[in-house]
Structure 1
Amino acid sequence: MAKFLLSLHVLVSVLFIGPVAVAVSMFPRRAKAALAGGPDRASDAGVLRVLHRITQVYALLGVAVPVLGIGLAQVMDVLGQSWVIVSMVLTAIAALSLLLFVLPGQQAAVDALELDPSDERHAKAVGGLKLLPMTAGVFNLLWAVVVVLMVIRPGSSTGV
């Protein structure tokens, strides 16, 4: 059962968290281009909407990752080990950063696409993009640390 859950946990992590990480990383540059105007504005705006939708949908699907992870930790009887607890805390912080900073920032940028560039709200949305690359980087860094913890498993009895 543990091998099945581990396989499922890894598969779901790759399939659901991977697209979120990529979309979150690509969004700030595309948002800047789309909101700046220019010849490819319509194309950039379409890409921006798709990246935001990918972030939303796959973030929701990504809830399966910690659920399977907790089930796997229970089956493996490692739920109380420090590396699992740290991983769960970092996962929660990553989820909160996505919900509180990344998704609202993306939504503001997508909403600004409908505004006239001379509108004050458009300028505010463009100014708000300054933090989006940083929050995207923090989100992805948190997931990278969780993956490293899953691989090295401090205190693991496997010796690998």
Structure 2
Amino acid sequence: MAKLLLSLHVLAAVLFIGPVAVAVSMFPARAKAALAAGPDQASAAASVKLLHRITQVYALLGIAVPVMGVGTAQVMGIIGQAWLIVSIVLTALAAGALLFFVLPAQQNTIDALDAAPESEEHTRATGGLRLLPMTAGVFNLLWAVVTVMMVIRPGSTTGA
């Protein structure tokens, strides 16, 4: 049972967190180009909206990763180990960065794309784009640290 849960946990991480990481990373540059292009560039706005939708949907699906991870840890009897607790905290921080910083900034950008270029929404979105690459980087860095911790954890059979 542990091998099945662990396999599902890793598969979910690859299939659900991977697309979020890519979409979050691509969004700032695409959004900046779309905001600069103005209302005449519908394809630029469409790509930004698609990246936002990918982020939303796969973030929701990504909830399966920590859920299966906790289930796997319980079956393996490692739920109280320090490295696992640290990885759970880092996962919560990554989720918080996504929920409280990345997604709202993306939504502000989407709203600005639908507004007039001289509107307050457009100005607010342009300002929010300055922090978005950093918050996207923090989100991805937290997931990278969690991934490394899962591989080189104490007691690992990888020989590390």
Determine if the TM-score, normalized by the shorter chain, exceeds 0.5. yes
Instruction: Give 1:69-80 correspondences, 5 Å limit.
Output: 69-80=69-80
- Runs of 4+ in structure 1 off by over 4 angstroms are none
Say if 2:153 is the partner of 1:158: no
Q: Deviations over 1:22-52 (max 9, x none)?
A: 0000000000000011697211100000000
Aligned partner of 1:131 in structure 2 is: 131
Aligned-residue sequence identity (percent) comes to 71
Shift in CA distance, 74/129, structure 1 to aligned 2, threshold 3 Å: same
Opposite residue 145 of structure 2, the aligned amino acid is V
Opposite residue 155 of structure 2, the aligned amino acid is S
TM-score norm. by structure 2 comes to 0.95
Aligned partner of 1:93 in structure 2 is: 93
Point out where structure 2 has 5 or more consecutive residues left out of the alignment. Answer: none
The count of corresponding residues between Structure 1 and Structure 2 is 159
CA distance in 2, matches of 1:4, 1:40: 50
Instruction: Give 1:1-160 correspondences, 5 Å limit.
Output: 1-37=1-37, 41-153=41-153, 155-156=154-155, 158=157, 160=159
Opposite residue 97 of structure 2, the aligned amino acid is S
SS in 1 for 2:28: helix
Shift in CA distance, 126/88, structure 1 to aligned 2, threshold 3 Å: same
CA distance in 1, matches of 2:38, 2:99: 30
CA distance in 1, matches of 2:136, 2:151: 23
SS in 1 for 2:137: helix
Shift in CA distance, 44/148, structure 1 to aligned 2, threshold 3 Å: same
Q: 2:9 touches 2:68 (CA, 8 Å); kept in 1?
A: yes
Point out where structure 1 has 5 or more consecutive residues left out of the alignment. Answer: none
CA distance in 1, matches of 2:156, 2:111: 51
SS in 2 for 1:93: helix
- The alignment yields a C-alpha RMSD, in angstroms, of 1.4
Shift in CA distance, 54/157, structure 1 to aligned 2, threshold 3 Å: closer
Q: Deviations over 1:31-88 (max 9, x none)?
A: 0000011697211100000000000000000000000000000111111111100000
TM-score norm. by structure 1 comes to 0.95
CA distance in 2, matches of 1:29, 1:71: 37
